């Protein structure tokens, strides 16, 4: 039997055997995301409503959610989505859900040596296709879940970069760091790591330019100076190497 694939690390999507499933409108995808985030556990209808609507839901919310579940059940071949006394439960192997697999791989990297951990983290980060849960949208519950996933991504990139720098593989740290620093210039630890990686692959000018761009952004947007850690990285880049 072909393996199902559920994707939350980017647009909310699903497929089977390489074929993309037709899930329907955005609100139906929010229902699916809420079920996937509580995979194999019953999810009350009220929580599904909270996942779909930001603010006061319409009077028809319960009936609308039931309709979305009915159509999801058909799209997912029926057997996976079950009705409980208070709501619904989606049954699947956690490794079929990219967000859950990501968390498993990141957890597996903890406590391993740098080489093994870096391989696991690169596999985990390779699952990302865009903003978690497709970016802004849905209710507060999905918004918080997306923020938590994005924070986990940034932490994984930082862990990966530190391991690669210790291993003497700065060239492999550049791409994952650049992918997140551009959207998170306030994460100065990541900026510092990217500056270091740039420097170690002979891209000193890019490292210095990144510092100046970050310094201006911090001043203009937040009214603060760079942290001592970032300033120390900058100073080290200016110091002649022995």
| Structural domains in the chain plus CATH codes | 4-94 (1.10.10.10), 168-242 (1.25.40.10)
pLDDT of the residue at 4: 87
Which DSSP state fits 89?
Answer: E
User: How many CB atoms are closer than 10 A to CB 198?
Assistant: 24
Between the ranges 11-25, 65-79, 127-141, 189-203, where is the mean pLDDT highest? 189-203
Distance CA 233, CA 22 (A): 49
In tens, the pLDDT along 69-94 reads: 999 998 987 668 999 888 899 999 99
Model confidence at 239, pLDDT cuts 50, 70, 90, reads confident
Residues 155, 121 contacting (CB under 8 angstroms): no
Distance CA 120, CA 110 (A): 10
Does the pLDDT at position 30 exceed 60? yes
Tokens coding 158? 């930082």
Task: Report helix, strand or coil for 225.
Answer: coil
Tokens coding 41? 């556990």
Does the pLDDT at position 128 exceed 90? yes
Tokens coding 205? 């000018």
Strand order in the sheet with 19-20: 4-7, 13-16, 19-20
Tokens coding 240? 């002649």
Q: Which residues contact 121 (CB under 8 A, 6 or more apart)?
A: 105, 106, 109, 156, 159, 160, 163
Write the burial class of residue 73 (CB in 10 Å: 0-12 exposed, 13-18 middle, 19+ buried).
middle
Beta-ladder partners of 5: 15
Selection from 236, 213, 123, 132 nearest residue 176 by Cα: 123
In tens, the pLDDT along 159-209 reads: 999 999 999 999 999 999 999 998 888 999 999 999 999 999 999 999 999
């Amino acid at each position: 039997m072909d393996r199902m694939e559920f994707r939350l690390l980017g647009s909310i999507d699903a497929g089977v055997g390489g074929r993309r499933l037709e899930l329907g409108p955005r609100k139906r995808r929010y229902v699916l995301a809420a079920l996937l985030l509580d995979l194999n556990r019953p999810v009350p209808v009220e929580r599904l409503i909270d996942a779909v609507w930001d603010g006061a839901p319409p009077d028809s919310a319960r009936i609308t959610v039931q309709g979305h579940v009915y159509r999801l059940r058909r799209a997912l071949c029926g057997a996976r989505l079950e009705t409980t006394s208070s709501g619904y439960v989606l049954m699947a192997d956690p490794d079929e859900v990219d967000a859950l697999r990501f968390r498993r791989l990141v957890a597996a990297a903890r406590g391993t040596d740098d080489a093994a951990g870096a391989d696991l983290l690169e596999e985990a980060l390779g699952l990302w296709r865009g903003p978690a849960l497709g970016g802004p949208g849905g209710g507060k519950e999905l918004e918080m879940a997306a923020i938590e996933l994005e924070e986990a991504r940034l932490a994984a990139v930082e862990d990966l970069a530190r391991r690669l720098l210790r291993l003497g593989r700065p060239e492999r740290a550049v791409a994952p760091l650049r992918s997140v620093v551009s959207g998170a210039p306030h994460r100065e630890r990541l900026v510092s790591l990217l500056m270091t990686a740039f420097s170690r692959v002979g891209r000193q000018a890019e490292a210095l330019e990144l510092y100046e761009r970050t310094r201006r952004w911090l001043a203009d947007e937040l009214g603060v100076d760079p942290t001592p850690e970032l300033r120390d990285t900058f100073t080290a880049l200016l110091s002649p190497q022995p």
